[in-house]
Amino acid sequence: MIKHLNGFNLRRQHFSIGLLALLFVGTKSVGQQYRTMEFEQSRQKSVVLLEAREELGSEHVSDGFFDGYIGGEKLDGALIEDAVQGLGSENLLGLRYGVTALMRLAWRGEGNYLLFSAGHERQIEAVFSKDAFQVYFQGNKTFEGRSAQLHPLEFDRVDYSFAKVGFEKQSDNYFFSGKLGLATGSNYRQLDTKRGSLYTAVFGREVELDLALADESWEGSHSVVWNGDALGFIFDAEAGWKWTHGMVGASIKNIGFIDWQNKVRKRVYDTVYNYSGIEISEILDSFAFDLKGQDDIASDFARTDELTNVRTNIPGEWCVWLRQGFLENRLVLTGAYGAYLADNARAYYSVRSTLYILPGLYAGVSYGRGAYSLADFGMHAGILLGTRIGVHAHWDSIGHLLGKEGKLSRIGGVVCSLTL
């Protein structure tokens, strides 16, 4: 469809076609999962674990720009221009975080354990073009006399909670475990462009938007405890082989699906929209309108606008690892390789060394790459408080601590354990 509007101005007020703000909403923390607790006690007795982990990263967005935007600071032109220069034609920002509580109870004989776990996870991926970023932060005037390419523009988000039960078997030579549970969704959003361009004529005599976009968003309950309209199943599995001071293993985690029932708003936009008689000097911000409200503009664009059911796969994870101890197990080397089951995540890897300074104290360094971040060095440490309480922390983005000039990378986590 083709629409024409005459003689009004565009200002940054209500409705942003680019929807680029979605890329930076709620992106405070994210997760990378691999074995973190180094104390063997936690693998031999009943134990309660509480873990929080995060990964937030981009090979394209700078650390300083992201902090300024999230912090609500006024972004000066030089900072925005530096951010633009660091972008490619297609850019990715990823966020993943999770909080998990696990109870592991000895059951019916040596090496047998019952497992109970519950937690909450969030996964966000955003893909955007350099031109879309410029339109949002620098305005249409940047593209006077030419077209800005808004494609690709993708946004995927899923938030869910879970409760699982399972069984674990430990022996001198092997171990395996499995958990099955219920997942309940609290938020879902998927946006994808098939094509998108914004043409601004010289002197702003005409602006034309060519857009094909599908947008699905959850309009039901956002409770993180229970949501009867967004339920599914989820499972984990793990197995490995052990030898003196070493082990090798593989795991899959959070594999499953969620059915979002009757409250997913699905909109399909497919339009060529033309505006005439506009003064380009007043097109200073993101592509927005103050003449009409958001709902009116959306209804003009939308060819499909309905509530529907959607089944989504939970963005799970697989991982393989190898661990070997040296010097009577005082020095431990660990390598891990895995990936998130998400559309744009890369495989991650980590190699780390751990030195046991005292029987209840260790520290170490690592080198690795996250699913969304550039490779970086990291550090980790752990301590036993008495004979029952253990605390472990790791931070795998030393570059972030040294300055804001590099690309966005924040990977870390904390584990607390109580041996029963």
Q: How many helices (H) and strands (E) does the chain have?
A: 5, 18
pLDDT at 307: 86
> The whole model's pTM is what?
0.83
CA separation for the pair 361, 381 (Å, rounded)? 8
Please tell me the predicted confidence (pLDDT) of residue 64. 82
| pLDDT number for residue 301 | 58
Question: CA separation (Å) from 350 to 202, 395, 416?
Answer: 52, 12, 21
CB-neighbour burial class of residue 368 (10 A; exposed 0-12, middle 13-18, buried 19+): buried
pLDDT of 404: 57
Type of residue at 219: E
Per-residue model confidence (pLDDT) at position 251: 97
Give, for 112, the enclosing helix (H) or strand (E): strand 112-129
Distance CA 348, CA 339 (A): 6
Angle at 235 between CA 233 and CA 236, to 5 degrees: 165
Contact in structure between 369 and 385 (CB atoms under 8 Å):
no
- Quick check: bond before 152 cis, omega within 30? yes
φ, ψ (nearest 5 deg) of residue 328: 60, 35
Amino acid at 279: E
CA 261 to chain CA centroid, nearest Å: 24
pLDDT at 34: 35
Most distant pair of Cα atoms in the chain: their distance: 82
**Burial readout 79-101 (b: 16 or more C-beta within 10 A, e: otherwise):** bbeebbebbeeebbbbbbbbbbe
H helices of 16-57, where?
Answer: none
Three-class SS state of 381 = strand
CATH architecture of 2-419: Beta Barrel (2.40)
* 356 CB-near residues (< 8 Å, 6+ apart): 38, 329, 330, 331, 332, 362
Contact 410, 372 (CB under 8 A): no
Rg (CA), the chain: 25
- Residues of the chain with confidence (pLDDT) below 70: 1-44, 204, 276-304, 403-405
Q: What tokens were used for 9? A: 């101005």
Question: Domain-by-domain residue ranges, the chain?
Answer: 2-419
- Contact status, residue 180 vs residue 165, Cβ threshold 8 Å: yes
Question: Which 8-state DSSP code applies to residue 282?
Answer: G
Residues 36, 378: contact at Cβ < 8 Å?
A: no
- What pLDDT was estimated at residue 52? 97
Residues written for the chain: 420
